[in-house]
Amino acid sequence: MVVAGGGGGGAYAAGAWPGGWCHPPDAVCKSLGIKDNMCGTCTKTATGFKLENTKAGLRWGAAGAAVDGKSFDDNYIGKGSMQARNICILAKYGNKPAALPESPTSNCAGSTKYGIPAQAHWYGNCRTGSKETACCSNAAMMVPGQDFGKFAVGNSCKSDKDTDSVLGSISCEFGSASLTAPWPVKACYPLDKSCTDLGVKDNLCGKCEKTAAGYRLVNHEAGLRFAGASFDDNNVGKGTVQARNICILSRYGNKGQVTRQPLDTCAGKVQASGVASQVHWYGNCRVGTVKEKDCCTNAFVLGSYFDWTTYAKGNSCKGDSDTDSTLGDIECAFDDGTFKKGAWPMGFCNPLRLVRVWPVFRYPCSTLHRPLAGEGLGG
């Protein structure tokens, strides 16, 4: 049953917000299994669906989008953001769903529509992994039974009258263990309790397994991936910067705060055979290559608030259509924040502490670190 996401008397006609220019749910929405269309048109995509309203923007409210609807935060709404994933959960399963049979993937992406009057919005301007899980739509992935209407409105957890540009469209994709779906949905395992118990924020479509020193992500059916792309099959073995960075991505999520450094035991393994090659993030560069720090996953170890989506895809910084064998599994381990006696590799490992060594940054018990935003590398 399709909930009247554009309900409460809404219609696609001129009128005051939030009732005006509100698409009612239709047969297409129902056929796609959409529970709340948020006043948008429903369109089938290659791997999911898209909601769109270019006239007045998408919106949602507990009583109905056209009754008490609010827009969505125009921060943290792009591809792979947690807010985009949560809006997709709301669209597919409705508010306070009893269960989440499938998990939204990192291909979920919203697009802001400019040139339309700004509106009151649900608060989403916080970092993923922050403590604002009860009030911010970008803090963590929603769980069964969670009420989207409990999020704050405006630009803080206290709620205020802030307005933002409206959300013009959102593309949604959900992953499952289906072996028949096309890439990148194929064999994309959801982030489940086995992952969250290990502190994993993004399982990269893999199954999560506990190891003696940390955890392992495994997907031998189709390969690990992020935001629709695999990882470079060069420079991904034990101790490589790319392997460490993939571990950072999985533990802290994109744009997350890095509080523990990955150890040099982090190691990825490329699929031996039987899995089709895929487009991939560019990682075929030498460690410490300053000119490729913003485009290559193997140049420097990531710091807090990184954005993985700024890396190039293919086999150069310019980006291309090169494909590589997929990453079948990766083993991750992090320091525990103390310098103390213990078994290798955890013993006598300096905690995360930034040390400036011009023209790059270094971490004790680590390798080169990607320069922070605003820090120059010039002479």
Q: Mean per-residue pLDDT for 203-217?
A: 97
CA geometry: angle at 113 spanning 77 and 7, to 5°? 85
Q: Report pTM.
A: 0.69
Length of the chain: 379
Three-state SS at 12: coil
| 152-165 average pLDDT score | 98
Share of the chain above pLDDT 70, in %: 86
Residue 262 — pLDDT band, cuts 50, 70, 90? Answer: very high
Q: Does 366 have pLDDT greater than 50?
A: no
Residue 355 confidence (pLDDT): 37
- DSSP 8-state code for residue 288: T
- What is residue 10's predicted lDDT score, i.e. its pLDDT? 55
Average pLDDT over residues 291-314: 96
Q: pLDDT-derived band of residue 340, with 50, 70 and 90 as boundaries?
A: low
Sequential DSSP letters for 125-191: -S-TTSS-TTT-TTSS---TT--GGGS-BSSSTT----EE-EEEEEEEEEE-S-SSSPTTTTT----
Q: How confident is the model at residue 344 (pLDDT cuts 50, 70, 90)?
A: confident
First-to-final CA distance of the chain: 63
Asked if the model's pLDDT at residue 58 lies above 60, the reply is: yes
Q: How far apart are CA 88 and CA 188, in angstroms?
A: 16
pLDDT at 114 over 70: yes
- Per-residue pLDDT band at 86 (split at 50, 70, 90): very high
Is 375's pLDDT higher than 80?
no
Residue 370 or residue 282, greater confidence? 282
Q: How far is CA 359 from CA 124, 362, 371, 372, 378, in A?
A: 36, 10, 9, 12, 8
Query: Shortest CA distance to 7 belongs to which of 72, 90, 87, 65?
Result: 65
Note the pLDDT tens digit of each residue in 194-208: 999 999 999 999 999
On average, the pLDDT of the chain sits at 88
Residue 339 confidence class, pLDDT cut points 50, 70, 90: low
Q: Say yes or no to pLDDT of 154 above 70.
A: yes
Q: Are strands 230-231 and 278-281 parallel, antiparallel or unpaired?
A: parallel
Query: Model confidence over 166-181: pLDDT tens digits?
Result: 999 999 999 877 777 7
Strand order in the sheet with 71-72: 71-72, 119-122, 163-164
pLDDT of residue 269: 98
Helices and strands (DSSP H and E) totals, the chain: 5, 18
371 or 282, higher pLDDT: 282
Determine the average pLDDT of the residues in 225-235: 96
- Using a pLDDT cut of 90, give the percent of the chain over it: 76
pLDDT score of 67: 94
Residue 376 has pLDDT above 70, yes or no: no
pLDDT mean over 130-159: 96
Integer Cα distance of 120 and 139 in angstroms = 19
The residues, ordered by sequence, that sit 6+ positions from 152 with a Cβ below 8 Å of its Cβ are 122, 123, 135, 136, 158, 159
The pLDDT value given to residue 78: 96
Task: Output helix, strand, coil percentages for the chain, rounded to the nearest 5.
Answer: 10, 20, 65
3 pLDDT above the threshold of 90: no
Tell me, what's the pLDDT at 225? Answer: 97
pLDDT on residue 12: 85
